[in-house]
Amino acid sequence: MTANTPQIALVTGASRGVGKGIAIALGAAGMTVYLSGRSATESASHLRGQLLPGSLAETAEAVNRAGGQGVAVPCDHRDDAQVRELFARIEREQGRLDLLVNNAALLHENLIDPGPFWEKPLALLDILDVGLRSAYVASYHAAPLLLKNGRGLIAFVSSYGAGCYMHGPAYGAQKAGVDKFAADMAVDFEGTGVAAVSLWLGPQRTERTAIAGAARADQYEAFLAVAETPEFNGRVIHALLQDPQLQTLSGQTLVTAELAQGYGIREAEGRQPPSYREMLGEPRTQHPARVI
């Protein structure tokens, strides 16, 4: 790879929200960004009776406008065959991969409803299929392509919900699970130049949180006032990928707001999003014991 060759990324769940913003930021950094998700040209997702806007085609256009190259690949991450073909396409077209952002997750519209888990739909558990299992499958197929470079990154999108009660046990288990994926995959990647990290994002300004915030203004108004944009987190992920000390961070769960301070990254208007470590807890430290 020459200095002028664009880096190659895949962002899963990139039709809208966090995935879309991360992809746009990577495009602005000149990357070729593959985008996966179910909404190819139009959305079929709803929240509180409202259609959630966004599609892969729209995200690809936004990545192109930002200065990168967006490649939309419709893919249902519940289907292992579709995921396998997604990575086969990247290999055919690029021969390698620099960055995988595991963002896809199935968020049920009743996720943030008050009440105990047994009073909510059992379908909330789908986040362990698309969100946890799907991240493992994507990482499995990404690993050989990342290893071809001798350097690369798998980034898992997580949250403070991995360490505190947030939206109930299904959501918490998915976030804690991807933190553990990063820790253990880093062990397997040791000495290869490929790193794996899990990232705790703060509250996000997305189409979904705009609707949720309107429905639960008492709980969300203060958070959303200082919320992060997905693009902000995309810039943090890009800086992390370029960091010459990346390997020293492999296996860790990191707070993106704290990384941003170290990298000198702010929101577009100059605002510095806060860390919620003191309010919501800190990432778990992995025990050094290894049982092979």
Return the active site residues: 171
181, 139 Cβ separation under 8 angstroms? yes
Q: 92 is written with which tokens?
A: 């055919």
Tell me the residue type at 17: G
The CA distance from 129 to 71, in Å, is 25
List C-alpha distances in Å: 56 to 2, 40, 74, 75, 220: 29, 5, 7, 10, 28
At residue 158's C-alpha, the angle toward residues 157 and 159, to 5°, is 140
Residue 189, Cβ neighbours under 10 Å: how many? 21
List the end-to-end C-alpha distance of the chain, in Å, as a whole number.
Answer: 35
Tokens 């943090």 sit at which residue?
236
Nearest by Cα to 223 from 128, 159, 169, 284: 159
